[in-house]
């Protein structure tokens, strides 16, 4: 039996592969040195010897020994048993096609073997605002490479890669072209909604350029692309790519990438604090559920966000813990409106403070929010009985504004802020 182990770095790029077993081939550990597109170019063994080299034409066709001075002595054309080739996609030995997840790709033709299923007309028909729908359509057909549903990376393989063979497009952000990639693991309708929200956010940034500071403009200009994933805790910039989850984009119709490129102050505590530009005129709480339908033994993930819709900055209690004595209180009700108390619920206490201690507080900038996640199980929330449940949260500050030296401060005397209600359904 042969066992193959793939090793990836924190950016998801494969850096080593090793096998154990007895069949023919070059076994042992192989270290991969990749180019900027992610294609393995040099394969090195555990003894630092070069086991193989790979060069590619722009669209991925491999250049073997005998071309351009390449020789087998240099490592070209030698079987090294590395399956990941052009942009680290696995190449089928029999057909020579590269597997991109949603489609197969033919590097000799520089085209996918199947058509991209995305249709701008469906999105145009489902957009309520007719002017916005027409603008989206004009923007889409304004890129000629969109007309060819078989093209690879907008026909610019030296600048772009296609992670999954599906749903990527180019857009303008403050006069600069950036690439947006939406994971193919997200269903079709959600992909279209995500694109609509991203396009709306970018349109607002472009329209309000004169209101941006030099620091914000510099941060935005550092963005090379946007990548939307199904899940994950990492949100923010990664090597010039703004990474965000499906939950964020679907939940925030006017989300902006300004504050992710140039983040606001982070709250102290166990949560991850993020900030997103919004528009309105009050403090509000927004609640999102990762999904709507669960089974009795599932885990549930909620995201609560305290949003500053005011026209000025405000100091808030930034330790976003959960409990009846903490900043967020979770409420669950059944379909009849009856309150359900969870079997287990953290009850974080307010830390002791002195008038000069400002560590638990955060200046929540206007049009930004602080966000935190809540993880639990259906069992712990006492939601095991099949049916529909309504969930909402309340935010309150356990500290009075008279006890600290910060102004303006949203304190205990301001009461509670109740979130929107989300419903979930639990099956057997």
SS3 content of the chain, % helix, strand, coil (to 5): 20, 30, 50
Residue with tokens 């560590």: 359
CA atoms of 266 and 350, how far apart (whole Å):
18
Best mean pLDDT range from 74-88, 101-115, 312-326 = 101-115
Instruction: Identify which of 235, 232, 280 has the alpha carbon closest to the alpha carbon of residue 259.
Output: 235
Give 98 or 167, the one with higher predicted confidence: 98
Q: Enter the pTM of the model.
A: 0.41
CA atoms of 269 and 92, how far apart (whole Å):
48
Structure tokens at 229: 């994933």
Structure tokens at 310: 């005011």
CA dihedral 193, 198, 203, 209 (to 10 degrees): 160
Q: What is the pLDDT of residues 258-305, one digit of tens each?
A: 444 333 333 333 333 333 333 334 788 888 887 888 988 888 888 888
Q: What is the pLDDT of residues 20-30, one digit of tens each?
A: 654 445 557 78
Q: What is the mean pLDDT of the chain?
A: 75
Q: What are phi and psi of 255, to 5 degrees?
A: -60, 145
Give 5 or 224, the one with higher predicted confidence: 224
Domains and CATH numbers, the chain: 3-88 (no CATH), 264-428 (2.60.40.2970)
- Worst-scoring range by mean pLDDT, 115-119, 244-248, 314-318? 244-248
Instruction: Identify which of 172, 191, 177 has the alpha carbon closest to the alpha carbon of residue 117.
Output: 191
Structure tokens at 47: 């003894």
């Amino acid at each position: 039996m042969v066992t193959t182990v793939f090793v990836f770095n924190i950016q998801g790029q494969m850096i080593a592969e090793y096998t154990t077993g007895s069949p023919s081939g070059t076994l042992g550990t192989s270290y991969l040195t990749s180019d900027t597109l992610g294609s393995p170019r040099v394969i090195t063994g555990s003894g630092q010897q070069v086991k193989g080299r790979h060069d590619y034409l722009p669209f991925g066709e491999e250049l073997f020994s005998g071309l351009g001075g390449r020789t087998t002595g240099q490592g070209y054309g030698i079987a090294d048993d590395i399956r990941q080739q052009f942009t680290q996609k696995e190449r089928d030995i029999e057909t020579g096609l590269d597997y991109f997840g949603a489609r197969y790709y033919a590097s000799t033709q520089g085209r996918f073997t199947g058509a991209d299923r995305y249709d701008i007309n469906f999105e145009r028909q489902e957009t309520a605002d007719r002017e916005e729908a027409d603008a989206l359509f004009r923007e889409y057909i304004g890129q000629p490479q969109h007309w060819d549903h078989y093209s690879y990376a907008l026909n610019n393989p030296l600048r772009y890669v296609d992670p999954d063979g599906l749903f990527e497009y180019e857009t303008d952000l403050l006069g600069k072209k950036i690439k947006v990639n939406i994971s193919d693991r997200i269903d079709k309708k959600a992909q279209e909604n995500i694109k609509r929200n991203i396009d709306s956010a970018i349109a607002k940034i472009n329209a309000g350029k004169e209101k941006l500071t030099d620091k914000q403009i510099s941060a935005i200009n550092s963005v090379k692309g946007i990548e939307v994933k199904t899940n994950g805790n990492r949100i923010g910039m990664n090597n010039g790519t703004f990474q965000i989850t499906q939950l964020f984009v679907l939940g925030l119709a006017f989300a902006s990438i300004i504050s992710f490129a140039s983040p606001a102050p982070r709250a102290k505590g166990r949560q991850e604090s993020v900030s997103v530009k919004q528009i309105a005129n009050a403090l509000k709480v927004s609640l999102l559920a990762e999904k709507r339908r669960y089974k009795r033994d599932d885990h549930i993930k909620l995201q609560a966000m305290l949003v500053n819709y005011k026209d000025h900055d405000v100091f808030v209690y930034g330790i976003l813990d959960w409990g009846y004595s903490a900043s967020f209180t979770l409420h669950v009700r059944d379909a009849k409106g009856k309150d359900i108390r969870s079997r287990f619920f953290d009850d974080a206490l307010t830390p002791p403070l002195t008038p000069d201690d400002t560590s638990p507080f955060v200046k929540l900038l206007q049009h930004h929010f602080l966000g935190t996640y809540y993880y639990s199980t259906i069992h712990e929330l006492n939601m095991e009985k099949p049916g529909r449940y309504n969930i909402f949260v309340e935010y309150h500050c356990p500290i009075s504004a008279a006890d600290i030296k910060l102004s303006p401060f949203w304190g205990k005397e301001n009461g509670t802020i109740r979130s929107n209600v989300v419903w979930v359904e639990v099956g057997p």
